[in-house]
């Protein structure tokens, strides 16, 4: 038995990748259990295996015992225990290996389909690509070579379950690192990324070396580099935009190619009101709200788009509503509006300490009474009108219906993508943001809510025509993708009465009028 042990251990070590010390421990445990079963007694039993010579030393009561005398039944017991131990050791080894590769890009071969999931062979083991992790609309066939990132690794009995993903934002990030050398060597950094798999992705990049154009390097000569990535993504449109540390520039860049007149930041609520002209509304919002939704995720702020006229109306209504609360005069109402609080819902979710610290002359007890009154009024409005149409161009798009929040709900805010955000327009004008767009789909008419008037529909058609003429890199003329459902955080920010929630503080460097709402 000892003569075959080195060969057995070496073979299993090479084929399964299990460390030799784990194999020796497993064999030692198996022989010890076999000896206990044979002698029906565990006292005085000792089994050791020399790690160098792999010689088995068995003793009982101080006397040496030949393992060969344990018998056939004991040998079968030892074999079963060894098989179990080997499987556990193999599982642990696989788990540690793939757990360390979480988020990495792997290449595998499609084996077969199980329900909606795809079984992918990775060489050492098989992994699962569930239907939700597959790019919408892609067609996979047995034998296809595909790339995916390791999304989740977990132990399941004596096996390891490896879940892959092609919809995770890290999949696009890893493809950029693979196809663009400047990103791989960290000359260019991906500072933020927002994705709706199968439809559109926004990637914010910044260059460490001022001599290297981040956007141009990612696009490549005539779009050669970015086209390789879009082909892997099945024609998904990618917007490459330039990173900027100023939110005044980030938000307009993220909404490119729309022209932004003014950006007003509401720090207490984490929102930004973006003012645009009527002919830029549909362009800023995007088809089914996709452009503003991805921009919101990219910059990490909830974005609401409206015209200057609409903002003036919202402010007037907000002041009227606040003065109806006991203890709120016109001056206090004006101060609340200047901080971007434009509805009962906004006021009901405010922290008392933040209000007292921000609003001059407001004490703690008075702030509590005002917030409690706002909560009651917000509840009344929610009961009277549970579904209200939101402001034009809220985070989830012009067609989303705003849902009035209960007093205990938190403010709906855009989910930031890890580090922050940005956008850019790929033009030769240095003052304008640069953007390189890879459009995998033909332009289609934006859906308009039932309240949209014929004149607004004409306005949308003109805006979409402008978007079509925008200078960008586009590939593929495949039919447009199916509409993207808008739910949860993608829905427009909740509003109370007629007033959307948000308000301003400053304007973009690249062109709009600067309006300071804190000035009288």
Does residue 445 lie within any of the structural domains? no
How many independent structural domains does the chain possess?
2
SS3 445: coil
248 and 507 Cβ atoms separated by less than 8 Å: yes
10 and 74 inside one domain:
yes
91 and 115 inside one domain:
no
Which residues are within 8 A (CB) of 322 and not within 5 positions of it... i.e. 6 or more apart? 328, 332, 333, 336, 337, 347
79 and 134 inside one domain:
no
128 and 82 inside one domain:
no
Distance in angstroms (rounded) separating the CA atoms of residues 310 and 133: 41
Does residue 378 lie within any of the structural domains? no
188 and 207 Cβ atoms separated by less than 8 Å: yes
410 and 349 Cβ atoms separated by less than 8 Å: yes
Distance in angstroms (rounded) separating the CA atoms of residues 371 and 347: 6
114 and 81 inside one domain:
no
pLDDT of amino acid 497:
34
66 and 129 inside one domain:
no
Per-residue pLDDT for the chain (520 aa), expressed as one digit of tens each? 444 677 878 888 787 778 888 888 888 888 888 888 777 776 778 888 888 877 888 888 777 887 777 767 777 877 788 888 888 888 888 999 999 999 999 999 999 999 889 999 998 899 999 999 999 989 899 999 999 999 999 998 888 999 999 999 999 999 999 999 999 999 999 999 999 999 999 999 999 998 999 999 999 998 999 999 999 999 999 999 999 999 999 899 999 889 999 999 988 888 899 999 999 999 999 988 999 999 999 999 999 999 899 999 999 999 989 988 888 888 888 888 888 888 888 888 888 888 888 888 788 888 898 989 988 898 888 777 643 333 445 553 333 323 323 322 332 333 333 333 333 333 333 333 334 443 333 333 333 333 333 334 434 343 443 443 333 333 333 444 433 333 333 333 333 333 333 344 443 343 344 344 444 3
28 and 61 inside one domain:
yes
370 and 364 Cβ atoms separated by less than 8 Å: no
Distance in angstroms (rounded) separating the CA atoms of residues 350 and 368: 10
Q: Which range marks the domain in which residue 15 is found?
A: 5-99
Does residue 20 lie within any of the structural domains? yes
392 and 498 Cβ atoms separated by less than 8 Å: no
Which residues are within 8 A (CB) of 520 and not within 5 positions of it... i.e. 6 or more apart? none
pLDDT of amino acid 495:
31
pLDDT of amino acid 148:
96
User: Which residue, among 85, 67, 72, has the nearest Cα to 27 in the 3D structure?
Assistant: 85
35 and 86 inside one domain:
yes
Which residues are within 8 A (CB) of 332 and not within 5 positions of it... i.e. 6 or more apart? 322, 359, 361, 362
Does residue 219 lie within any of the structural domains? no
Does residue 135 lie within any of the structural domains? yes
63 and 147 inside one domain:
no
CA angle 247, 248, 253 (to 5 degrees): 85
SS3 46: strand
pLDDT tens-digit map of 281-326: 999 999 889 999 999 999 999 999 998 999 999 999 999 899 888 8
pLDDT of amino acid 328:
87
Distance in angstroms (rounded) separating the CA atoms of residues 64 and 370: 87
pLDDT of amino acid 329:
87
129 and 148 Cβ atoms separated by less than 8 Å: yes
Domain boundary, last residue among 53, 68, 99? 99
10 and 78 inside one domain:
yes
65 and 83 inside one domain:
yes
Does residue 90 lie within any of the structural domains? yes
Strand 56-60 with 45-49, pairing: antiparallel
402 and 495 Cβ atoms separated by less than 8 Å: yes
pLDDT of amino acid 385:
60
CATH number at residue 14: 3.30.1480.10
411 and 200 Cβ atoms separated by less than 8 Å: no
Give CA separation, 7 vs 1, 3, 19, 20, 477, in Å.
11, 8, 14, 12, 60
Residue 413 CA neighbour count, 13 Å, CB half: 18
14 and 84 inside one domain:
yes
160 and 153 Cβ atoms separated by less than 8 Å: yes
pLDDT of amino acid 394:
52
480 and 442 Cβ atoms separated by less than 8 Å: yes
Helix (H) or strand (E) holding 438, with range, is strand 435-438
pLDDT tens-digit map of 112-124: 999 889 999 998 8
Burial, 416: exposed, middle or buried (Cβ in 10 Å; 0-12, 13-18, 19+)? middle
Does residue 15 lie within any of the structural domains? yes
pLDDT of amino acid 180:
94
Does residue 65 lie within any of the structural domains? yes
CATH number at residue 145: 2.40.50.140
Distance in angstroms (rounded) separating the CA atoms of residues 378 and 498: 12
Domain boundary, last residue among 99, 119, 154? 99
pLDDT of amino acid 42:
66
Domain boundary, last residue among 123, 140, 167? 167
pLDDT of amino acid 453:
38
């Amino acid at each position: 038995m000892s003569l075959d042990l080195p060969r057995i251990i070496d073979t299993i070590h090479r084929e399964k990748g299990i460390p030799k010390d784990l194999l020796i421990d497993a064999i030692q445990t198996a022989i010890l259990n076999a000896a206990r079963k044979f002698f029906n007694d565990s006292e005085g039993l000792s089994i050791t295996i020399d790690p160098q010579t792999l010689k088995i030393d068995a003793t009982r009561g101080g006397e040496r015992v030949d393992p060969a005398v344990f018998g056939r039944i004991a040998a079968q017991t030892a074999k079963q225990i060894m098989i179990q131990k080997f499987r556990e050791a193999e599982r642990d080894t696989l788990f540690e290996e793939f757990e360390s590769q979480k988020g990495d890009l792997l290449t595998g071969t499609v084996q077969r389909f199980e329900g909606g999931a795809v079984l992918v062979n990775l060489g050492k083991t098989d992994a699962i690509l569930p239907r939700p992790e597959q790019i919408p609309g892609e067609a996979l066939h047995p034998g296809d070579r595909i790339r995916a990132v390791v999304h989740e690794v977990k132990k399941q009995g004596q096996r390891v379950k490896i879940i892959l993903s092609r919809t995770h934002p890290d999949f696009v990030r890893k493809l950029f690192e693979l196809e663009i050398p400047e990103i791989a060597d960290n000359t260019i950094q991906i500072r933020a990324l927002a994705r709706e798999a199968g439809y559109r992705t926004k990637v914010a990049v910044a260059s460490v070396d001022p001599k290297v154009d981040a956007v141009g390097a990612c696009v490549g000569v005539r779009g050669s580099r970015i086209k390789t990535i879009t082909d892997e993504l099945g024609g998904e449109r990618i917007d490459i935009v330039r990173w900027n540390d100023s939110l005044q520039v980030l938000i307009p860049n993220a909404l490119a190619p729309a022209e932004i007149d003014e950006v007003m930041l509401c720090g207490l609520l984490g929102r930004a009101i973006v003012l645009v002209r009527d002919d830029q509304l549909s362009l800023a919002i995007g088809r089914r709200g996709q452009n503003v939704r991805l921009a919101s995720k990219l910059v990490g702020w909830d974005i609401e788009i409206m015209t200057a006229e609409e903002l003036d109306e919202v402010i007037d209504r907000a002041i009227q509503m606040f003065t109806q609360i006991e203890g709120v005069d016109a001056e206090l109402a004006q101060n609340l509006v200047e901080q971007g609080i434009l509805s009962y819902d906004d006021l009901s979710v405010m922290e008392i300490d933040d209000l007292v610290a921000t609003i001059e002359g407001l004490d703690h007890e008075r702030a509590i009474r005002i917030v409690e009154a706002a909560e009651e009024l917000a509840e009344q409005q929610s009961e009277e009108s549970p579904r209200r149409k939101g402001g034009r161009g809220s985070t989830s798009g012009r067609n989303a219906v705003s849902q009035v929040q209960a007093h205990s709900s938190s403010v709906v805010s855009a989910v930031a993508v890890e580090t922050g955000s940005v956008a850019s327009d790929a033009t030769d004008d240095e003052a304008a943001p640069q953007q390189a767009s890879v459009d995998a789909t033909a332009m289609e008419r934006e859906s308009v809510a039932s309240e949209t008037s014929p004149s607004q529909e004409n306005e949308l058609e003109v805006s979409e025509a402008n978007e079509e003429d925008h200078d960008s890199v586009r590939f593929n003329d495949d039919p447009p993708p199916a509409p993207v459902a808008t739910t949860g955080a993608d829905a427009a920010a909740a509003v109370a009465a007629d007033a959307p929630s948000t308000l301003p503080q400053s304007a973009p460097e690249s062109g709009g009028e600067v309006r300071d709402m804190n000035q009288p």
